Structure 1
Amino acid sequence: MNTITPGQRGILDAEYPNWKNSELSAVEFMKKLELKKNTLTKTGTTRFVISDNPETIGTPTDPKWSVQFSGGFATLWHDYLNDRNSVNYRVFVWHLNTTGKTLKYGITIGNGSNSTSTPGTIQVSNLKHSIVTTGYFIPHGICTAKSLLGNTLDDATPANPSITAGNVGLVKEWTVPNGQLIGGVVEFTLKNVTSPTAPMTFRLRSCVSDTATADLRLNQTPVIAVRETHPRGSWNFADIQSTINFETGALNSYKFYSFANGTNDNLMKQSGSYDSENSYGDNKGLYGVKNKINITFKNTSTASRIIKVFLTSRVKPFGGACQWNNNPTVGVPKLEMTSSTQDAVQVVSFTLAAGATATYPLTTSTAGSLSGPGVVAIQTLAP
């Protein structure tokens, strides 16, 4: 279904190259398309880490994706905290092995607590994940988005549930055959079980070894250099939310809302990441993030109206998952765009009484290998 008007389509075709070449800002681009812009805010206290650079782990001589192993190890990204007694983590992982051999990937925690002045044993608990090795990138990305929104990540047992002061523990590890992607989301909790108030001091590493038999706990290497343009970073929040206010319009008309445009929703910026000098890019695609929109519907007419809500891409294809109100989470296939058509999915259809107002949440998550949703289209129809 084409949810953008012919006039908007013409503007999109004409102005997209200017936006792509940075000759036109995202805000100006939205104004030309007559898309209403909402304001997003950070939510929750879960700490978020994205490890997506280098997206491809190549051989040391690969001209584009070379990865240099040191002592058989490479640290793809890291995080460091020294001010919390407990912390919930969500880590989004997306790395393709093209080294020609089987690797081992894992997440480790180095407990930097001192055994005398700042004692602390770190407990690892509540481990759940969607991480697998696969050659089916988009289907797995959609499955990960669905399991994240639907709270159906697989439960798992930490490799090292307890990490004493001065030691490195393993949260979980996977072997990664050549030509396979290691990707998905993993969540877990870290807590200082020695003291109910003392902060932990630790370093998290997203790391890989160049053999399938290495002990990742021996890795102490610094973060490797970035490759290409995929993001990596760490932030003190994992989810975002916003509001949309909709009033019914003429029958059969649409109203369009730009809620993910790389500008107002770009909250995970490189500049705000831990170790921003070595992080890379902004997580504009919101990979691994729950993006919640609270939509308030108001029927300003004197008769009941059918309201239909559609979700579609903005410039690049969206795919992933969405959840309307408390309904089951559903997967969203890759929504393509051409010069004359635009794919969309209908999220819901409901009747709103004359003069009535109702508020419902719509939550989305982006699949790895695709882009985030850009537009909510809301249509007014006669009952």
Structure 2
Amino acid sequence: MTCNQTELAKETNVPNVTPTNFYGIPVSGSRRFFISDNPETIRSSDFTNANTNMITLWDDTVSSQSTVKYRVFFWHLNGTSQPIKVGFTIGNGSTTDTYTVSNINTGVAITNNFLQQGKCAAAALLAGTLDGGNSNISVPKNSLKVIKEWTVNPGYLVGGVMEFDISNATNSSSALIYKIRSVAGKDTSQDLTKHQGFVVRAGTDSNGNPTKHPRGSWSFSDISGSMNTSTVQPFVYNVGSAPASVNVSNKDYDNIMKANTSYKNPSSPDYAIPYDNPGHYGVIYQVPLRFVNNTTADKTVKINLCARGGSYLGAVRANNITKIVPVISPPASGATTQESVQVVSVNVPKGATVDYTIKISNGGGANTAVAVLMSTI
């Protein structure tokens, strides 16, 4: 994974503007999305309680399609006292056909520097610099194969982004019968292809309550913000007016990766449930903006990103250039200014209307929302 994108410099004196909330609309034609982040910390008790040496962290399938293109985001910390194995498997349920897993691209690291990996994976996704060069995987009928697997030492996290395509190599028009699983083995001797169990219980907090880290799968991996709930409508900023701001990944209005719309194995136990992905980890979020200059002079609009829900980090793409967003902090209560990064400046001629889109990817470990701030300079 290439992570050599420029990191934006922090600013500390931009105005603290209360943002308007975006709605979210799925981007048509984007990949199917699979997120595995619960249990985020894998503990020895997860294996003990499941009475098995291997556990399924999440699974997914679709019917009536002969080709499926996936994006996967996963984020798992080894909270046991010994090395574990974490990976992704594919099960071919066909009695006649061979399947192929191809175009495998990864932005994955085993690390104890979680925030650095969060920024790097987000930047590699936006910039298209995920690691390629992986061999295709042939999956014979009635078999399981490993797509990718990693050995993770205690106290280390394995996580990031992976994309791959599944197709029917025997009959390109025949529907796939398959299952994708994220699987963990309690030690490095485990053969992940020997496990086909149900999804494990969610992780728990210090009080024993289930955590709500995301897990699930949806038919889209990219989202467009919108001021409308049904069709994409850009946020309009009147050039020359006071600074204005719009909230991305705001957890309410644009939370469209919800548990009740996720795939769930209908045969699985009640506890094997999905959880929302309101932070849009692993997602490319398109931010459509419209700048209207009704003045009699050419103007320049500056676009900044600001943290709104806690410390934020990730990546942003403008003018086909991807930049890394360092950790920025939200404004203190009652503050008139806030920490920020400047993304780009856009020239808007007098009397003109300019449509402009940036793309954002929230890093693993980030707190959302993130606000897009526009001001005239």
Task: Determine the C-alpha separation between the residues in 2 that align with 1:73 and 1:367.
Answer: 28
Task: Determine the C-alpha separation between the residues in 2 that align with 1:94 and 1:298.
Answer: 41
TM-score of the two chains, using structure 2 as the length reference: 0.86
Task: Determine the C-alpha separation between the residues in 2 that align with 1:343 and 1:280.
Answer: 34
Residue aligned with 2:120, SS: helix
Q: What are the equivalent positions in structure 2 for 1:107-126 lying under 5 Å apart?
A: 107-114=88-95, 119-126=96-103
C-alpha contact (below 8 Å) 1:50/1:93 kept by paired residues: yes
Task: Determine the C-alpha separation between the residues in 2 that align with 1:221 and 1:78.
Answer: 10
**Counterpart AA for 1:245:** V
Out of 91, 95, 98, the residue aligned to residue 72 of structure 2 is 91
Q: CA deviation digits over 1:29-72, x for unaligned, max 9?
A: xxxx4x33333210134110000000001121xxxx77645441
**Counterpart AA for 1:52:** D
Alignment-derived partner of residue 43 in structure 2 = 58
Any unmatched runs of 5+ in structure 1?
Answer: 9-32
Residue aligned with 1:154, SS: coil
Alignment-derived partner of residue 39 in structure 1 = 23
Alignment-derived partner of residue 216 in structure 1 = 192
Residue aligned with 1:361, SS: strand
Deviating runs (4+, > 3 A) in structure 1? 2-5, 65-71
Q: CA deviation digits over 1:244-264, x for unaligned, max 9?
A: 2221134xx311222331122
Alignment-derived partner of residue 352 in structure 2 = 356
Q: CA deviation digits over 1:60-116, x for unaligned, max 9?
A: 1xxxx77645441111111122221001111101000011001111100011112xx
C-alpha contact (below 8 Å) 1:229/1:280 kept by paired residues: no
Out of 226, 229, 246, the residue aligned to residue 237 of structure 2 is 246
Residue aligned with 2:366, SS: coil
Task: Determine the C-alpha separation between the residues in 1 that align with 2:360 and 2:284.
Answer: 6
Pairwise CA distance, 1:147: 0.1
Higher mean C-alpha displacement, 144-153 vs 337-346: 337-346
Out of 128, 132, 144, the residue aligned to residue 109 of structure 2 is 132
Alignment-derived partner of residue 143 in structure 1 = 120
Task: Determine the C-alpha separation between the residues in 2 that align with 1:332 and 1:308.
Answer: 16
Question: Is 1:270–2:259 an aligned residue pair?
Answer: yes
Task: Determine the C-alpha separation between the residues in 2 that align with 1:194 and 1:262.
Answer: 43
Question: Is 1:164–2:140 an aligned residue pair?
Answer: yes
TM-score of the two chains, using structure 1 as the length reference: 0.85
C-alpha contact (below 8 Å) 2:33/2:220 kept by paired residues: yes
The total of aligned residue pairs comes to: 342
Task: Determine the C-alpha separation between the residues in 1 that align with 2:253 and 2:33.
Answer: 19
Any unmatched runs of 5+ in structure 2?
Answer: 1-11, 204-210, 226-233
**Counterpart AA for 1:151:** G
Out of 336, 344, 352, the residue aligned to residue 329 of structure 2 is 336
C-alpha contact (below 8 Å) 1:230/1:280 kept by paired residues: no
Task: Determine the C-alpha separation between the residues in 1 that align with 2:248 and 2:143.
Answer: 44
Structure 1 residues 108, 320: closer, same or farther in 2, change over 3 A?
A: same
Q: What is the RMSD computed on CA atoms of the aligned residues?
A: 1.8
Pairwise CA distance, 1:156: 4.2
Residue aligned with 1:287, SS: coil
Pairwise CA distance, 1:310: 0.9
Task: Determine the C-alpha separation between the residues in 1 that align with 2:162 and 2:262.
Answer: 19
Pairwise CA distance, 1:374: 2.6
